[in-house]
Amino acid sequence: MVGVFGDIHGCYYTLLQLYKLVRDKYGDIQLYASGDLVDRGNHPVEVIEFIMSENVKPVLGNHECMFYYSFEFPNHPYRDVWASNGNFKTLNSYSEHPELLQKHITYFKNLPLFYRLPDCFISHAGISVLLQPKMHNTSQWNEADWEEFINNHMSEEIGVIWNRTSLMNCGFLQVVGHTKHRSAYFDQKTMALYSDTGAYTGNKLSCVIVDKNTHVDTLSFPTVPKDILFSRA
């Protein structure tokens, strides 16, 4: 059994409340996150420090990808894309904590694109149904095969950090973020569980609990206003 937080997007105080709910109910189960720790909310630095300190294991989201390329490769097109995707609160946060910037760049560099677990498959945006024609005999794939395939398609519009298309039914539960729903949503047809419940929009942050490819519970906490109000004071 594992828990997976949906997209946190800098909502640190909301994360603290939800984390306590999860730990109180499920003890020391391993916790993961669907990516997009940064941008749009007010406290991305605090989110990352907390995630690291509590050994929550995130996958790489498109916002971490844009963050990383913008600092490490300033001429990369992702820099302009990031500027139009809510990065100003992240930049404000690091202006207050410049000593943590390089540490977090290195952390993002090493984030995996996916976790393939006995309980589920976790990625930020999921395996698109449009990739299905390129996938053959996946039941015989080992970890290296999955890693090679997903890495090869990472930068595509239908790759696992950018995809907005329907997901492929891979025969196991896919847990993803990226695409918002008012509440965590399970698509039975594709065996896809959507965990992003729009914390930065003022809705709520959610953590889905899964066990052996089954969605068993969802815990949520309403967005704490100081996570998204314009002032960081």
Q: pLDDT tens, 180-202?
A: 999 999 999 999 999 999 999 99
Residue range 100-132, pLDDT digits in tens = 999 999 999 999 999 999 999 999 999 999 999
Going 48 to 51 to 55 to 58, the CA torsion angle's sign is: negative
Q: Which helix (H) or strand (E) holds 198?
A: none
CATH of domain 2-227: 3.60.21.10
Residue range 133-183, pLDDT digits in tens = 999 888 889 889 999 999 999 989 999 999 999 999 999 999 999 999 999
Burial (CB < 10 A; 0-12, 13-18, 19+), residue 3, is buried
Tokens describing residue 173: 């539960």
DSSP annotation of 128: B
pLDDT at position 176, please?
Answer: 98
- Mean local confidence (pLDDT), 49-60: 98
Return the residue matching tokens 């993803």.
176
Whole-number Å distance between alpha carbons of 111 and 109: 6
User: Which of the four pLDDT bands, split at 50, 70 and 90, describes residue 15?
Assistant: very high
The domain locations on the chain are 2-227
Q: What number of residues does the chain have?
A: 233
Whole-number Å distance between alpha carbons of 94 and 77: 21
pTM: 0.94
